[in-house]
Amino acid sequence: MPDPGPSPLPPSAIEPNPALARVLRGPSGLGTAALSLARREELPLPPVAPDPEPLEPEPPEQPPAAGGTPIPGLYYHPVPEPDPVRVEEVGRRIKRWAVDEAEVYPPEWEDQFDGFFVGRYMVACHPDAPTVEHVMAAARLMVAENAVDDYYCEDHGGSPVGLGSRLLLAHTALDPLHTTKEYAPDWALSLQSDAPRRAYASAMEYFVQLATPTQADRFRHDMARLHLGYLAEAAWTETEYVPQVWEYLAMRQFNNFRPCPTITDTVGGYELPADVHAQPAMQRVIALAGNASTIVNDLYSYTKELASPGKHLNLPVVLAEREDLSEREAYLKAVEVHNELMHEFEAEAAQLAASCPDPRVLRFLKGVAVWVDGNHYWHMTNTYRYSLPDFW
């Protein structure tokens, strides 16, 4: 694997993906925009209605455009600055939900919550959502997923011991228990008994109002995958095992952003049919997109994780240990792994779009690509959480 060394942004990092753009151009495609650049007015399905809910009467002052430096050599696509009015409104509503309605975080953690910039994140990832409430469905799930990770796995008292029980009981907030009349009430009460379960239960209740049953089933499956991923990572933490690189990549395909991009159609107000979603080619595209997005997290959170107590597994750390590389070499190799996953995602998406030009398929593929780009944008601009290592 060549060492890319200190390098300026490659030209490809600021250009749309030509293969995908070529496939999607033309009368039956998504228009002339690159797949990775979301433009709401070009999306053919369904007609995007104006938000029926009134926003704040006076739009708040626009925050300055977000800053942040991309990782040198990383293959990514820039996104248009997300709609600041919508960012502000989602930020306002999600804080009200998380602090007051679902009681996920106590009021004294508001600063930390603000530092997560959920509004900017979700609006950047879902520019084609027909209403603010559609974005909110994604935002609540994102906050709930983070709450489970924070409280059960990581920052706020999590532990690998007993995690299998906590995650399964929380999973029943998404995938309900069907039991006898004597025991069902105890279970129902349990869903209100801690912040992660309150968050899952409330976020899911809103989500299923927008989702079809097959979309809800897809989400449950992706969340079961996520929980399996958490549990594999926890097993390694407990046994102090540093996995082989392929083992780490396998775990990370499960402990993965996947549940976020795969709701792009629900949040967009349409449905990718279940039989198309299940096709091996689509499953591969989704997995590659999730894997690239997740390695982005490993790369941007590298210094944050180094600074936190205990050994935190991420791709550079595993590469350094398993392949006897310096920290810098390992980090740069992890960038290459990411770039290969991104290129493979885009190539496979282009091929699928060409072979299956149904407008819902094209819009879904575009939605996943936009999510990947929005996720990178959020990581890059979230200088409250992340800073880059000094490797260039």
Binding site for a copy of itself (CB under 8 A): 1, 161-169, 171-172, 175, 177-184, 186-187, 190, 212-214, 216-217, 220-221, 224-225, 227-229, 231-236, 238-239, 241, 243-247, 249-251, 253-254, 274-275, 277-280, 283-284, 287-288, 291, 337, 340-341, 344
Vertex 204: Cα angle to 200 and 210 (nearest 5): 160
Write down the least CB distance from residue 180 to a copy of itself, Å: 5
CA distance 247 to 140: 31
Write down the least CB distance from residue 149 to a copy of itself, Å: 15
* Nearest alpha carbon to residue 131 among 37, 269, 261, 36: 269
Query: What tokens were used for 141?
Result: 């799930």
Nearer to a copy of itself, 241 or 384 (CB): 241
Burial 296-325 (b: 16+ CB within 10 A, else e): bbbbbbbeebeeeeeebbbbbbbbbbbeeb
Q: Is 273 exposed, middle or buried (0-12, 13-18, 19+ CB in 10 A)?
A: middle
Nearer to a copy of itself, 47 or 213 (CB): 213
CA distance 260 to 126: 10
Nearer to a copy of itself, 114 or 238 (CB): 238
Query: What tokens were used for 18?
Result: 């030509």
Write down the least CB distance from residue 216 to a copy of itself, Å: 7
Write down the least CB distance from residue 274 to a copy of itself, Å: 4
Nearer to a copy of itself, 253 or 351 (CB): 253
Contact 36, 93 (CB under 8 A): no
Nearer to a copy of itself, 14 or 168 (CB): 168
Write down the least CB distance from residue 229 to a copy of itself, Å: 7
Nearer to a copy of itself, 71 or 94 (CB): 71
Write down the least CB distance from residue 150 to a copy of itself, Å: 19
Contacts of 102-106 with CB under 8 Å at 24 or more apart are: 102/140, 102/144, 102/195, 102/198, 102/199, 102/202, 102/203, 103/195, 103/198, 104/143, 104/144, 104/147, 104/195, 104/196, 104/198, 104/199, 105/147, 105/195
Nearer to a copy of itself, 117 or 230 (CB): 230
DSSP 386: -
Q: Which residue bears the tokens 């008292």?
A: 157
As a residue count, the chain comes to 392
Write down the least CB distance from residue 222 to a copy of itself, Å: 9
Nearer to a copy of itself, 68 or 164 (CB): 164
Angle, helices 118-125 vs 84-95, to 10°: value is 130
Contact 234, 312 (CB under 8 A): no
Write down the least CB distance from residue 197 to a copy of itself, Å: 12
